[in-house]
Amino acid sequence: MAEFTMPSLGADMDEGTLLEWLVGPGDLVHRGDPVAVVETAKSTIEVECFETGTMTELLVEPGTTVPVGTPLALIGVPAKKPEPPEGGEKPHTTREPRKARQPEGPGETERAAKRRAAPRTQRKGEPAKPPSPPPEPATVPVPVLTTVRQGVHTEAGPLVRHLAEQRGVDLETLHGSGPGGRVTRTDVEEAVAARPPRLRVTPLARRLAAETGVDLATVKGTGKDSAIRAADVRRAAHGPATEIPSAKIGTPTVRPSGERPSVDRGAAMRQAIAGLMSRANRDIPHYYLSTTVDMAAAMDWLHEHNRRSPVGERLLPAALLLKAAALAARDVPELNGSWTDDHFTAGEGVHLGVAVSLRGGGLVAPALHHADTLALPQLMTALKDLVTRARTGRLRGSEVSDATITVTNLGDQGVEAVFGVIYPPQVALVGFGRVVDRPCAVAGLLGVRPVVTSTLSADHRATDGAVGARYLTAVTRLLQNPEQL
């Protein structure tokens, strides 16, 4: 049995709030699958799990804040491939082999649970045992999310089972109020009554609601049979401030229990950034280099490319700058990696952090993995996707923690040169300003060329000025041959 714990998603993270589970008990998960949505002071992130197995038990309820390292769920890591679940007609045959395979400890209680669920003829009146230590009851008004769902059903007579199937109620999720924990007919009917009524919403309205963060339960429908239509959603989105502006920073699917007014959110993010930047500036001895890069070849190539391409395939100058920064980092690996415990560890790939400003304030720098291997159109697509997810709070854990070097591009804001603070534990930050037309000397004559100021802030513990200079020279060289980017 493996534990899925609250991960550390940044050098300065102490605790996180579990917002939403993306999987349930009984689901098969693979290493790298996103399984939960976690909110930190700085952003909302989809967290991947590191094991492949069956999600056995969810230990923490959505809405709970826990310290880094707290177990959030149990994942069953089977020695052999689990058999497909059966309809439950012959429970014993599928259970016996599984019993033998489960390791001790939590497996013990699983066996107990299965014994409990055995047909009444064998085990009369066996008292219901909770299958494993339940999570802190304080936050659990809801029945304990039960164990392995593999054709094992809670004790329920045929009538109740039939009723549940008819009404579309999953017996696994019910807490039986009958003797011995049996699920009764009343339990099923109450579950049906407790369900929120299925909303009638047009497909367009549903999509708009997801895009704008409108909660459909709060919208009055004006369509046939009170169906909610697009106009109703638009009205709700622009209506009086029942809609929290957190739609700007956070995710559209934040559960009510996790909603906080945007003022708090913005302040928390600012505090977190303040902490990180102070620490970085204090601990890291920065040195700064700058150079002016002739962008004539690059911009000509770019315009030609865009002229030939449909609008959806256009490239921005930023794509060229990012690719050059990534390739240069490959050429100068001393700047691509992390400084921890008084030594430098080179990154195993060039994962280019891209500084993205969030609406309403705040900054994240998620990584474009293996940016040096992405062809320009792919890089452009990946960049668009990354920025969108950064702004809607749908980043993955690996994107937030894996950057080996970061680029900050303030060209849009009209600034010509930016000297930023390095994001620890990285050892370099590359800056690009706006591409501007400037007079220059070209082959001995005065001309006007588009140029960009490229800067490097680097950690003096890891590298010296000569290395930094080599990097900027590489960037300059790469941008003179845009067709090879």
Partner 1 sequence: MNINRTDALEMVRESISRVIPDADFAALGPGDAFRDVLEMDSLDFLSFVEVLSERSGVRIEDEDTPRLTTLSGSADFLVARSG
Partner 2 sequence: MGDGERPEAAKTTYREAMREALRDALRSDDRVFLMGEDVGRYGGCFGVSLGLLEEFGAERVRDTPLSESAFVGAGIGAALAGLRPVVEIMTVNFSLLALDQILNNAATLLHMSGGQLAVPLVIRMTTGAGRQLAAQHSHSLEGWYAHIPGIRVLAPATLEDARHMLAPALADPDPVLIFEHGSLYNVSGELLPASAPLDLDHAAIRRPGTDISLITYGGSLPKTLAAADELAAAGISAEVIDLRTLRPFDARTVAASVARTHRAAVVDEAWRTGSFAAEVSARIAEESFYELDAPVERVCSAEVPMPYARQLEEAALPQTADIVAAAHRAVD
Q: Within positions 221 to 240, which residues make up the interface with partner 2, using CB under 8 A?
A: 223-224, 229-231
Residue (of 355, 457, 368) closest to 404 by Cα position: 368
- 179 upstream amide cis, omega within 30 of 0: no
Choice between 224 and 307, CB closer to partner 2 = 224
CA torsion, ordered 215, 220, 224, 227, to nearest 10 deg = 10
The mark string for 177-206 relative to partner 2 (x by CB under 8 A, - otherwise) is: -------------------------xxxxx
Q: Is 411 in the site for partner 1 (CB under 8 A)?
A: yes
Rg (alpha carbons) of the chain, rounded to whole number: 28
Partner whose binding site includes residue 212, from partner 2, partner 1, none (CB under 5 to 8 Å by kind): partner 1
How far, CA to CA in Å, does 423 sit from each of 54, 274, 430? 36, 12, 11
Q: Which two three-digit tokens encode residue 77?
A: 């890591």
Least gap, CB of 228 to partner 2 (angstroms):
10
Nearer to partner 1, 164 or 451 (CB): 451
Q: Which is nearer to partner 2, 57 or 232 (CB)?
A: 232
Find which of partner 1, partner 2, none residue 202 binds, CB within 5 to 8 Å per kind: partner 2
Closest by Cα among 109, 103, 98, 102 to 133: 109
C-alpha span between 395 and 62 (Å, rounded) = 18
211 binds partner 1 (CB under 8 A): yes
CB neighbours of residue 96 within 10 Å:
10
d(CA 317, CA 272): 31
Determine if 442 is a binding residue for partner 2 (CB under 8 A): no
Smallest distance, partner 2 to C-beta of residue 227, A: 8
For partner 1, the binding residues in 222-241 under the rule CB under 8 A are: 237
Query: Which range binds partner 1 by CB under 8 A, 140-148, 181-189, 314-322, 425-433?
Result: 314-322
99 binds partner 1 (CB under 8 A): no
**Which amino acid, one-letter code, is at 477?**
R
Report what 52 binds from partner 2, partner 1, none; CB cut-off 5-8 Å by kind. Answer: none
Tell the smallest beta-carbon distance from residue 191 to partner 1 (Å). Answer: 36
Please choose, out of 72-80, 300-308, 369-377, 461-469, the segment that lies near partner 1 by the rule CB under 8 A.
300-308
Segment holding 53, helix H or strand E: strand 53-58
Which lies closer to partner 2 via its Cβ, residue 84 or residue 203?
Answer: 203
Total number of residues that touch partner 2 (CB under 8 A): 11
303 binds, among partner 2, partner 1, none (CB under 5 to 8 A by kind): partner 1
Q: Which of 316, 415, 440, 467 is in the footprint of partner 1 by CB under 8 A?
A: 316
> Binder to partner 1 among 87, 312, 444, 466 (CB under 8 A)?
312
Long-range Cβ contact pairs of 255-260 (< 8 A, separation 24 or more): 255/19, 255/20, 255/62, 255/63, 257/62, 257/63, 258/17, 258/19, 258/39, 258/62, 258/63
Please give, one letter per residue, the 3-state secondary structure of 403-463. Answer: CCEEEEECHHHCCCCCCCCCCCCECEEEEECCCEEEEEEECCEEEEEEEEEEEEEEECCCC
- Smallest distance, Å, CB 212 to partner 1? 5
Out of 5, 290, 357, 401, which residue is the one contacting partner 1 (CB under 8 A)?
357
The CA distances from residue 300 to 200, 287, 304, 373, 414, in Å, are 53, 33, 6, 23, 21
Whole-number Å distance between alpha carbons of 431 and 417: 7
For position 275 contacting partner 2 by CB under 8 A, the verdict is no
Q: How far is the CB of 306 from partner 1 (least distance, A)?
A: 5
Residues 127, 168, 141, CA angle at the centre, nearest 5°? 50
- Identify which of residues 204 and 346 has a Cβ nearer to partner 1 in the complex: 204
Q: Does 314 bind partner 1 (CB under 8 A)?
A: yes
Fill in the amino acid letter for 374. L
195 binds partner 1 per the rule CB under 8 A: no
Site residues, partner 2 (CB under 8 A): 202-207, 223-224, 229-231
Site residues, partner 1 (CB under 8 A): 211-212, 237, 245, 247-248, 302-303, 306-307, 311-312, 314, 316-318, 357, 359, 383-384, 387, 411-412
